Structure 1
Amino acid sequence: MRIAHITDYYLPRLGGIEMQVHDLATRQLDAGHDVTVITSTPGGRDEPDGPPVRRATENLPFAAALHPAAPWAGRRLVRDGKYDVLHVHAGPFSPLSFAGLALAAELPTVVTVHSLISYMEPAFRLLDGVSRWSALPAVWTAVSDAAAEPVRRLVAPRPVFVLPNGIDAARWRVEPAPREPGEVLVVAVMRLARRKRPLQLVRMLRRAHDLLAPRVRLRAVIAGDGPERRAVERHLRRHDMDWVSLPGRVDRAHIRDLFRRADLFVAPAMLESFGIAALEARCAGVPVVARAEGGIREFVGHGEEGLLVDSDDAMVEAIVRLAADADLRGRVAARSRTVPPPVTWPDVLALTEDMYGRAAVRLHGRAERSA
């Protein structure tokens, strides 16, 4: 099968959509499919064992992921490729992906929404009044039930299926490193962008640190980079938080090593459609503290693989509770190591192919009705 993945955001940019599209395309390639990634993200080189990448903006002036000419260049690449199916990966603002969706009347198309878009529903309804995008014969999916809910309201009565991100759980199993008595390490892995709430995280960590001292020495590592890094650094300097480190962007081997030493993982974002880093931590046996509103709740049960909260105050309380209770951390870690998550790659790949088949049936059925 000739598959084209359409995404505004891809490597070398780092984030959940970027890594999941790469991993999905790579596994489909290994399964014998002919797979191409079409993106407007500039830069980077194709990996020898990874999918070929067509960058719609690489020959345009001022190449950028959100380039005004990217939708037209991307459509041309899709039509030239003669693909059997398009898999469109959409975020809250994805002009290239929207252009891919517009081809659903020509090619079987699956759309996967990777973000929580509730706050943008009025804008999408306004756009639908002009373009009628919701009437296109695409198969709609989202990475979690939380992410699917606003899409269901927009495209009703059509169904929206959950097509979760996949993970190689065995790859993330780690042997815990020896611990320093009385010390607890909190780890977060995120893009340092406003919607991920890194500033709120360091404020919560400062409160937890003060509540735990002197009985527990709290340390933290926040891995990742992004536009909020300088603001976070200023906050750390202002409050003498030298017990928090910011290693920047790190590779997966470094993250696995962090998880070997981590006592708990914190995900502060309220608009977390899935939370792949939290899933990786869960597979490594690290207790997860996260907001209950997002997609993390679909693989972390409250009191089972971690603690789910509904406010920043409750998140501080959860951090303090886990940091102060080694027995609770041990029970949560043991469950995470022994109970596999419900979103491993074999299941996700099979579900993805099922969605491709549905897209072909939907398009061909529409063509027959029009004939």
Structure 2
Amino acid sequence: MNICLVNHDFIPVRGSGQTVYAEKIARGLADGNNVTVITARPPGLSGIEYIDNIRVVRLPVPHHDPSQWIAFGYIAGQFIKRQAGRKNFDIIHFLDGHLGYAAPKGFVATLHQSFNQRLKGKKGIPYHSSLWNLIQRYPYYKVSKILETLALGKAEACLAISHATRNEFIQNYRVDPKRIDVVYSGIDTDFFKPVDAGRQRKALGLTNEKVLLYVGFSTPRKGLEDLAAALRRLKTDNVKLVLAGKWEKGYRQSFLHRLGRNVDKVIEAGYVDDAQMPALYSLADIFVLPSLLEGFGFPLVESMACGTPVISTNAGAIPEVVGNCGLVIPPQNPGILAEKIDLLLSDESLRNSLKKRSRDWVLYNFSQAVMMRQTFSFYERVMAQKKRTARHFAL
């Protein structure tokens, strides 16, 4: 099969978990298929290159701000139009659906968080670090939702990364339910597994502390202020919070403000190389994600695969991802979060039970092999439908 994947970021650039999804899809499909990835071209990288057996076409994009995807979507759409007569792709797949607003009709799209969700937020309040930040971004979100709706109208079929995401697009964008399949994102369960973490603990300066872990690109939607407030309420002594990942501009200051005098309880690990991630998850007693909105949540699945119990919220797709393998609480409730952290740190039997269930749950539901098999089956159904439609019009 000749497959074209379109995503704003690709190896070696990684802006979010959505980019991790793109990497996994591309590598999985490249085994037995011809795969071309169309992506943005950052400084210093060539326009066309091969990564393993994946052909990567990098298009120059002039902007460097949150709306950069809009410019990329337009340039990618025009590029695909020019290629249509020369390159016969069986499937053109926009790995973030809204990118397809300028492309010809007939592509497939993956659905993650909607701009409707980002615009409204919890109880109608958008997720932003300040009123000024909201004022700046509100027009951008409004325009983005319009383009997202345009892209959905052009898509032949869609993949949602969770049932919660599917329901969002059915209810708020009126997408025909028959056009949306659910395929959970998958991880490499041979890589993400419990490992010895002694060297990692030493590198972080940890000795006998209880360890809470958060991994991800930190934005107001991740609810880290609530985690900071929960740290102040903990009854358990000798606890450290390890933070791994990058910060949205200005958000770190909000977190530190809520942290107050407890700054000595936090270790900022910053960017952690992929090879070290299983050890990072394995050293933690609890993985905490106090998010206000999640379309899926790769770190949740990765931590569970490593046997690390999780505490998260009932926002978005989190309950269906965690199942009965972790503790799920209401978002924006530091008091309850602190109680659940104290409970899990003090109850070794509960932690061990969650550890065992967690890995089994991931193996059954979120392996990379399952994701690729279901994605390829989705492609085959789309192609079969195209052939039936073509025969119908031929008659």
TM-score above 0.5:
yes
CA shift, 1:182, in A, is: 6.8
Flag the 1:203–1:97 CA change in 2: closer, same or farther, 3 A. Answer: farther
Q: Distance in 2 between matches of 1:288 and 1:273?
A: 17
Flag the 1:181–1:157 CA change in 2: closer, same or farther, 3 A. Answer: closer
Q: Deviations over 1:45-94 (max 9, x none)?
A: 567426332222x2x54466716543332123324243220111226xx4
Q: Deviations over 1:295-351 (max 9, x none)?
A: 23223223xx21111232332221121112222112211222445241212221111
* Structure 1 residue aligned with 2:73: 71
Is residue 257 of structure 1 aligned with residue 259 of structure 2? Answer: no
Flag the 1:204–1:324 CA change in 2: closer, same or farther, 3 A. Answer: same
* Structure 1 residue aligned with 2:162: 144
Flag the 1:128–1:225 CA change in 2: closer, same or farther, 3 A. Answer: closer
* Structure 1 residue aligned with 2:191: 171
| Counterpart pick for 2:375 among 345, 352, 357 | 352
Flag the 1:97–1:346 CA change in 2: closer, same or farther, 3 A. Answer: same
Q: How many residues are aligned here? A: 352
Contact 1:36 1:52 (C-alpha < 8 Å) held by counterparts: yes
Q: Distance in 1 between matches of 2:231 and 2:239?
A: 9
Contact 1:7 1:38 (C-alpha < 8 Å) held by counterparts: yes
* Structure 1 residue aligned with 2:124: none
* Structure 2 residue aligned with 1:276: 298
Letter of the 1:221 partner, please give it.
Answer: V
* Structure 2 residue aligned with 1:22: 23
Contact 1:13 1:41 (C-alpha < 8 Å) held by counterparts: no
Is residue 184 of structure 1 aligned with residue 210 of structure 2? Answer: yes
* Structure 1 residue aligned with 2:54: 51
Structure 1 residue ranges without an equivalent (≥5): none
Contact 1:39 1:55 (C-alpha < 8 Å) held by counterparts: yes
* Structure 1 residue aligned with 2:221: 195
Q: Distance in 2 between matches of 1:198 and 1:41?
A: 32
Flag the 1:67–1:155 CA change in 2: closer, same or farther, 3 A. Answer: closer
Contact 1:87 1:111 (C-alpha < 8 Å) held by counterparts: yes
Q: Which moved more, 1:60-69 or 1:236-245?
A: 60-69
Contact 1:225 1:248 (C-alpha < 8 Å) held by counterparts: yes
Flag the 1:116–1:290 CA change in 2: closer, same or farther, 3 A. Answer: farther
| Counterpart pick for 2:245 among 224, 227, 235 | 224
Is residue 206 of structure 1 aligned with residue 212 of structure 2? Answer: no
| Counterpart pick for 2:327 among 307, 321, 329 | 307
SS at 1:170 equivalent: coil
Flag the 1:104–1:290 CA change in 2: closer, same or farther, 3 A. Answer: same
CA shift, 1:198, in A, is: 2.5
Q: Distance in 2 between matches of 1:343 and 1:130?
A: 29
* Structure 1 residue aligned with 2:90: 84
CA shift, 1:239, in A, is: 2.0
TM-score, reference length from structure 1:
0.83
* Structure 1 residue aligned with 2:109: 111
Q: Distance in 2 between matches of 1:32 and 1:324?
A: 49
Contact 2:108 2:155 (C-alpha < 8 Å) held by counterparts: no
Q: Which moved more, 1:244-253 or 1:32-41?
A: 32-41
Flag the 1:347–1:124 CA change in 2: closer, same or farther, 3 A. Answer: farther
SS at 1:165 equivalent: coil
Q: Which moved more, 1:119-128 or 1:356-365?
A: 119-128
Letter of the 1:186 partner, please give it.
Answer: L
Flag the 1:226–1:52 CA change in 2: closer, same or farther, 3 A. Answer: farther
SS at 1:362 equivalent: helix
Letter of the 1:314 partner, please give it.
Answer: I
Alpha-carbon RMSD across the aligned residues, in angstroms, is 3.1
- Percent identity between matched residues is 26
Flag the 1:277–1:47 CA change in 2: closer, same or farther, 3 A. Answer: farther
Contact 1:309 1:315 (C-alpha < 8 Å) held by counterparts: yes
Contact 2:109 2:159 (C-alpha < 8 Å) held by counterparts: yes
Flag the 1:70–1:182 CA change in 2: closer, same or farther, 3 A. Answer: closer
Flag the 1:127–1:368 CA change in 2: closer, same or farther, 3 A. Answer: farther
Contact 1:169 1:341 (C-alpha < 8 Å) held by counterparts: no
Letter of the 1:53 partner, please give it.
Answer: V
CA shift, 1:134, in A, is: 4.7
Letter of the 1:66 partner, please give it.
Answer: Q
Q: Distance in 2 between matches of 1:143 and 1:196?
A: 18
Flag the 1:98–1:193 CA change in 2: closer, same or farther, 3 A. Answer: same
Letter of the 1:222 partner, please give it.
Answer: L
Q: Deviations over 1:115-135 (max 9, x none)?
A: 25553699699849995x555
CA shift, 1:235, in A, is: 2.7
Q: Distance in 2 between matches of 1:90 and 1:130?
A: 13
Flag the 1:47–1:201 CA change in 2: closer, same or farther, 3 A. Answer: farther
Is residue 239 of structure 1 aligned with residue 261 of structure 2? Answer: yes
Letter of the 1:152 partner, please give it.
Answer: I
Structure 2 residue ranges without an equivalent (≥5): 121-141
Contact 1:116 1:271 (C-alpha < 8 Å) held by counterparts: no
